[in-house]
Structure 1
Amino acid sequence: MLSRKRKTVTGKLIVERPPAIKPAKARRIIRRFHLLINKRRIICNKINIKLLEADESANSRRISEKLRLDGAQSFYDEGWNTQNPSPEYEAQMLRVQRLDDHNQLLRILGYIMSEIHQRGGLKNYQLASSMGQDRNRGGDSSKILINWFKTIRTSGRQYRALEIGSLSAENAISTSGIFDPVTRIDLNSNDPAKILRQDFMKRPLPSSEAEKFDLISCSLVLNFVPTPQLRGAMLLRFQHFLRLDVEKTYVFLVLPLPCVSNSRYMSTELLCEIMECLGYKQSHTHESSKIIYMLFQRSIGSKAQKKHVAGGFSKKVLIRDKANMNNFSIAL
């Protein structure tokens, strides 16, 4: 019998196997990368550097140009060349919102950029994201969506889907045969030929019904949006991309379970109230040990209520408070 691990006479594998990352490590890598991106955004806002959400090359050029104009390259280089991890820089990075020393901000920016580009931060993030949805490892959240959709779809009809934060063109949404076409976008696409590198909040609004969708999938994206107001703005923006020429459209939300089960300001019930205010009704939900999956339905004629305009969900409200709780919230 031939060995499964077939090798050449030099001992190398004929087919290179992709590197494996355990799920727990993949989650740590993804959380770390989003922390770096968030802290970089805060620093750049403070020192007047306008970043692009989906163009790391352009961001590097803009930072370099700012350093050249300010004659501040030396401070940035100090941070870039600091050994990582640095307890001092890590502590300062976590409280960078309260830091006003311009030169120290540049050092921390150099420290962050070094990890993103020199120490494999971006590369590891893309690999971890891709491995996270590997069908062989049970990481494809859209499998649950497809099981639900099989019970509610109209036979013979093709549905159009927009997948925000897409990690794979081979997941269940793309291979089920229910959705065609599937438009995939992600801020840091690991497959630009199949997944468009794009920020949903900057995606042009549809000019016709033909450019709208039956389903918007937003899996493990909302929790990485940096502020409650921006999360609310994302939910509000969904309505512009859903079709009006069909009876029902859908939004598939996937969040870490602690966002609703262990937050001082959010619960499953409150999230459903916010979605109902925006014109959606929850049709399906499922909780695993770490993730909550929710499908919301929007019927033709449904409109966002005026409650959020009047301030009904404009501020976070404390609904419980215990040690070790998080502060996840959504503001409209």
Structure 2
Amino acid sequence: MLSRRKRTITGKPVAKHVPKIKPSKARKIIRRFHLLIQKRRVICNKLRCDIVENDEEANAINIENFFRKNKTLQEDFNKGKKSRRPNPRLEELLVHVQSIEHSQQLCQILGYICGEIEEDGGLQNYQFASTVGQDSNRGGDSSKQLVKWCKELGVDKALGMNALELGSLSAKNHISVCGLFNPVVRIDLNSNDTVNIERQDFMKRPLPKDESQRFDLISCSLVLNFVPTPLQRGQMILRFKQFLKCNKKTYLFLVIPLPCLTNSRYMTKDRFNEIMHALGYRKIRFKEAKKVAYWLYELEQSENTMCSSQNMNQFAKKAKLLDKPGMNNFSITFPNRQPSHQGIYTTTKPLFSR
């Protein structure tokens, strides 16, 4: 019988203490962190300071080296870094940083951003908040919905299916413990569990050499919306196909924040489905929750589903679908390519080949 004591008679905790924060605070931390790194990216591009996606250690070194070469701007950076928080004036400049061209102001805002990231624990604090968001006790594990759908479709462990999970935060979520997939290969740009989750950028993952290196299912939950640009999002979606097995049923599970689809000037649920259909995916399940949208797509293996130049070139540029105050600019675009002699959509790399 388990002890109800919180501590043993020697005063030691019965169970290891796991720090917790409220989901509302976790969401606030996540939103703020992504706002800061987005604005930092804009500023560094303006200042021509090298920035590396998802490598905070490298970015700290690059920014330090930048000011070592531009000592006249160091004072402005330090001033922003030491400012009290929140600073109403700098918060206002932060929001409108895209329209600012004055180097001294940009450096002050950059210092303000870097100071906040350091004070709040940076990437480590963000990862902890993200893990809280996936706590099964709070219903935050999106793969729970995936497993439910897979069981409805008759997926069984006897089928020997494997899966690739992008942006994995835990080796104990539903996709990992349900037993339907073996193995589950888990990757994340900034893995906080390098034993069970490989630290890897999906866009740099080596392409499969044969069928044994491909997957029956790819899970991409709340990753696509954090890819920096519309074209990079399109390139990520294109790359999924190269990692899915040929000549059998394969699946793609996607989770995207609802505002990216319901409050965007350039994207709606219908347009997103049009994109996926043009790429050869068939929607087999969809669920709209309070804050996110879930999709399960099946990749059609027919030759007729190959992407034509005409199909994909219509998504090469952003198309304004709605325009109201307070809307966001989430969108997905694809490289504009020319058709081959056979009329098949071609690229310099075999993005669509199966």
TM-score, normalised with respect to structure 2: 0.86
What does residue 102 of structure 2 align with? Answer: 101
Q: Name the counterpart of 1:50.
A: 50
Change (3 A) 1:238 1:2: closer
2:36 aligned partner, one-letter code: L
Matching residue of 2:66: 66
Q: Within 5 Å, give how 1:315-330 maps onto structure 2.
A: 315-330=317-332
Structure 2 match to 1:21: 21
Query: Residue by residue, what CA displacement relative to the aligned partner does 1:250-307 show, whole Å, maximum 9, x if unpaired?
Result: 1111112222223332222211110011110101111122221100110224422323
**Take 2:118 and 2:27, find their aligned partners in 1: how far apart are those partners?**
19
Would the aligned equivalents of 2:135 and 2:141 in 1 still touch at CA under 8 Å?
yes
**Residue 53 of structure 1 contacts residue 187 of structure 1 at CA under 8 Å; is this kept in 2?**
no
Partner SS for 2:225: helix
Residue in 2 that maps onto 1:234: 236
After superposition, the Cα gap between the structure-2 partners of 1:205 and 1:43, relative to the gap in structure 1 and judged at 3 Å, is farther
* Aligned residue number for residue 303 of structure 1: 306
Quick one: distance in 1 between partners of 2:78 and 2:8?
Answer: 45
Q: Closer, same or farther in 2 for the Cα pair 1:268/1:199, shift >3 Å?
A: same
Distance 1:93 1:160, change over 3 A: same
Residues 198-223 of structure 1 show CA distances to partners (whole Å, capped at 9, x for unaligned) of: 32223332233222222111111122
What amino acid is aligned across from residue 304 of structure 1 in structure 2? C
CA contact (8 A) 1:279 1:305 kept: no
Alpha-carbon offset, residue 10 of structure 1: 7.6
Unmatched tracts of structure 2, length 5 or more: 335-354
Map 1:106-117; keep pairs closer than 5 Å: 106-117=107-118
User: Does the 8 Å CA contact 1:54/1:199 hold for their aligned counterparts?
Assistant: no
Q: Distance in 2 between matches of 1:86 and 1:151?
A: 52
Structure-1 separation of matches of 2:104 and 2:58: 22
- Cα distance in 1 for partners of 2:10, 2:86 equals 38
Give 2:224's match in structure 1, choosing from 217, 222, 225: 222
Is 1:161–2:163 an aligned residue pair? yes
Pair 1:107–1:321, CA change in 2 (3 A): closer
Report the Cα distance in structure 1 between the residues aligned to 2:20 and 2:293, rounded to whole angstroms: 25
Provide the C-alpha distance between the structure 2 equivalents of 1:283 and 1:253, rounded to a whole number of angstroms: 12
User: Residues 325, 100 of structure 1: CA spacing in aligned structure 2 closer, same or farther, 3 A cutoff?
Assistant: closer
Matches within 5 A, 1:210-289: 210-244=212-246, 246-289=247-290
Relative to structure 1, is the Cα distance of residues 90 and 10 closer, same or farther in structure 2, using a 3 angstrom cutoff? farther
Matched to 2:270, the amino acid is E
User: What's the Cα RMSD here?
Assistant: 2.2
The question of 1:313 aligning with 2:320 is answered: no
Structure 1 gap segments, 5+ residues each: none
Residues 70 and 323 of structure 1, relative CA distance in 2, 3 Å threshold: closer
SS in 1 for 2:104: helix
Q: Is the 8 A contact 1:219 1:255 kept in 2?
A: yes
> Residue deviations 1:289-332, cap 9 Å, x none?
222110011022442232344x3112232333444433322222
- Which stretch shifts more, 131-140 or 235-244? 235-244
Report the Cα offset of residue 51 of structure 1.
2.5
Distance change >3 Å, CA 2–CA 178, structure 1 → 2: closer
Question: Post-superposition shift, 1:162?
Answer: 1.5
Q: Give the aligned residue type for 2:62.
A: R
2:209 matched to which residue of 1? 207
SS in 2 for 1:73: helix
Is the CA contact (8 Å cut-off) linking 2:156 and 2:180 kept in structure 1?
no
Correspondences of 1:122-201 after superposition (within 5 Å): 122-152=123-153, 153=155, 156-201=158-203
Q: Secondary structure at the match of 1:181?
A: strand
Distance 1:268 1:84 in 2: 38
Q: Deviations over 1:164-205 (max 9, x none)?
A: 111111101111111222222222322222222232223332
Q: Tell me which stretches of 4 or more aligned residues in structure 1 moved more than 4 Å.
A: 8-12
Call closer, same or farther: CA 1:307–1:68 in 2, change over 3 Å: same
SS at match of 1:156: helix
Cα shift at 1:227: 2.5
Residue 159 of structure 2 aligns to a residue in which SS?
Answer: coil
The Cα of 1:144 is off from its aligned counterpart by 0.7
Aligned residues: 330
Q: 1:17 to 1:155 in 2, by over 3 A?
A: closer
Q: Displacement of 1:30 after TM fit? A: 0.8
